[in-house]
Amino acid sequence: MQGRVLIIAGSDSGGGAGIQADIKACAAMDAYSGTAITALTAQDTLGVHGVHPVPLDFIRHQIRLSLRDIGADAIKTGMLGDAATIDAVCDALAEDGQGIPLVADPVMVAKGGSNLLAPDAVATLKRRLVPAAALLTPNIPEAEVISGMRITGLEEMRAAAAAMLAMGVPAVLLKGGHLEGNRLLDLLATRDGSEVFESARIHSRHTHGTGCTLASSIAAGLAQGMALRDAVLRGRAYVQAALRTAPGLGQGHGPLNHGVTVDPARIEALTHGADAALA
């Protein structure tokens, strides 16, 4: 195991997205993960059925303890819910998380359509979270809200990414999963230039948590000392492998196979008393 990630996000009781996806993605990348939970959601593959926020003091407490004891080599934020939570998280990170690269996934709407960020929180997100991040990972609808631009293709993705860089974040990974078509484009934009990563769309309804999984696997890569581009490439390859081998659970948008990197032969060895080989 190498690299420590602190994940600050909401819990998905369905296990496919949120904190649960984040922890599984870090483990799959062989990184450690600690958590500060911002909200509990009662959720399944069909949608979000309830949200129970965590008191702000308690969110700050989790972040402080995690950073002061175990520490972190990268931090990932997911669902923050409202402006007060964004402020509390940014305050806690300014106190104890200085200098640690932050991957901010600006989660706004769940795959099933439920709102995960109060509409009046967008200004706070732009003012506090975006400039604090080392990498921002919006999907198309989130990039439209943050940049105030309509995005229907690659040229507009480039313009929106430039607008977000101008808000003070050094790198933006604008995810193209929500655009139509069989070619899927993700744009990585930095102040030094941009690069488009292209892949074939995997036709599947089991896409719950792709965004959380990608952001956390990139955070794991940064925690392990990888260059940003390498961490993005590995994260994308991981998400695609996890999509391709999704277990097909649930009646809606089912989860990915987060354990696609796990070696069954090593688990089998445990059942035959060969645990010494793993020590």
210 binding ligand ATP? (CB under 6 A): yes
Closest approach, Cβ 41 to ligand ATP, in A, equals 13
DSSP H or E stretch at residue 40: strand 32-44
175 binds ligand ATP (CB under 6 A): yes
Whether the CB-CB separation of 255 and 14 falls below 8 Å is answered with yes
CA distance 277 to 274: 6
Strands (E), 179-262: 183-190, 193-200
Q: Is 212 a catalytic residue?
A: yes
The beta-strand segments (E) located in 155-246 are 171-175, 183-190, 193-200
Answer yes or no: 221 catalytic.
no
Residue (of 207, 43, 25) closest to 103 by Cα position: 25
Q: Tokens standing for 6?
A: 């602190």
Q: Is the Cβ–Cβ distance between 37 and 70 less than 8 Å?
A: no
Task: Indicate whether 111 belongs to the interface with ligand ATP (CB under 6 A).
Answer: yes
* C-alpha span between 110 and 105 (Å, rounded): 12
Catalytic-residue membership of 137: no
Q: Which stretch binds ligand ATP (CB under 6 A): 7-15, 27-35, 146-154, 233-241?
A: 233-241
Strands 32-44 and 4-12 come out as: parallel
Does the protein bind ligand ATP through residue 161 (CB under 6 A)? no
User: Edge to edge, what strands does the sheet with 47-53 contain?
Assistant: 47-53, 32-44, 4-12, 74-77, 102-104, 135-136, 171-175, 183-190, 193-200
By CB under 6 A, tell whether 186 contacts ligand ATP: yes
Q: Which of Mg ion, ligand ATP, none does 255 bind, CB closer than 5 to 8 A by kind?
A: none
Site string for ligand ATP, 115-144 (x = CB under 6 A): ------------------------x-----
Catalytic hit among 175, 176, 221, 235: 175
Return the number of the residue (67 or 89) whose C-beta is nearest Mg ion.
89
> Do residues 140 and 176 make contact, with C-beta atoms less than 8 angstroms apart?
yes
207 is catalytic: yes
Q: Kindly tell me which of 149 and 202 has the beta carbon lying closer to ligand ATP.
A: 202
- Nearer of residues 68 and 153 to ligand ATP, judged by Cβ: 153
| Closer to Mg ion by Cβ: residue 211 or 221 | 211
Check binding of 184 to ligand ATP (CB under 6 A).
Answer: yes
Tell me the closest approach of the beta carbon of residue 184 to ligand ATP, in angstroms.
5
Q: Would you tell me which residues interact with ligand ATP (CB under 6 A)?
A: 17, 111, 139, 175-178, 184, 186, 199, 201-202, 204, 207, 209-212, 214, 236, 239-240, 243
